[in-house]
Amino acid sequence: MAKKSIEILVGLFVLLGLAGLLFVALKAANLTTFSNGETYTLQARFDNIGGLKARAPVRSAGVVVGRVTKIALDRKTYQGVVTLEISRNVEFPKDSSAKILTSGLLGDQYIGIEPGADDKNFTAGDMIKQTQSAVVLENLIGQFLFSKAAEAGAAGGDKK
């Protein structure tokens, strides 16, 4: 009888471990942080979305207020069109701006919304007009190296 109770306890321990692993996996995939309550959609156009992915969080003042639901390319303007799903209990003024930001130095990207001061709020289906594209680290490094090479070339030309 004692052997059977130990086997049951070990089985329960293994099940708790598996449940913990499932919870951590869902947290890592950002599937548990935003409820599927009442939402409305907004769209924003960006020249460069960087590494932004669907299901990325939409934050305002660091608080998750929505999710990215769709990313598409506009064939006429060649801009990335990002569809956002925002919680119904959060309303933003029409002059609010959206930026693609990065968590930490090399972390995941998300949309940050800065509220404006307009009297009218966005309604479902509206387009956020003021946007700022993602800062791509490779582009920054390339610009830095190019400017340093140009300075070195100019300084070398002065010595002759």
What is the arithmetic mean of pLDDT over 25-43? 72
Dist CA 92 CA 144 (whole Å):
37
pLDDT-based confidence at residue 29 (cuts at 50, 70, 90)? low
Of residues 134 and 56, more confidence is placed in 56
What is the arithmetic mean of pLDDT over 42-66? 92
Q: What is the pLDDT of residue 108?
A: 84
Out of 110-114, 124-128, 153-157, least confident range: 153-157
pTM equals 0.68
Phi-psi category of residue 109: left, alpha or beta, with phi > 0 → left and psi -120 to 50 → alpha: beta
Contact 66, 96 (CB under 8 A): no
Rounded mean pLDDT of the chain?
86
Dist CA 33 CA 114 (whole Å):
21
What is the arithmetic mean of pLDDT over 94-100? 94
CA distances from 56 to 5, 66, 67, 70, 114 (A): 45, 9, 6, 10, 17
Dist CA 9 CA 137 (whole Å):
51
Q: If you search the block for the tokens 């869902």, which residue do you land on? A: 26
Does residue 59 have a pLDDT over 90? yes
Q: Which amino acid would we find at residue 15?
A: L
pLDDT-based confidence at residue 156 (cuts at 50, 70, 90)? low
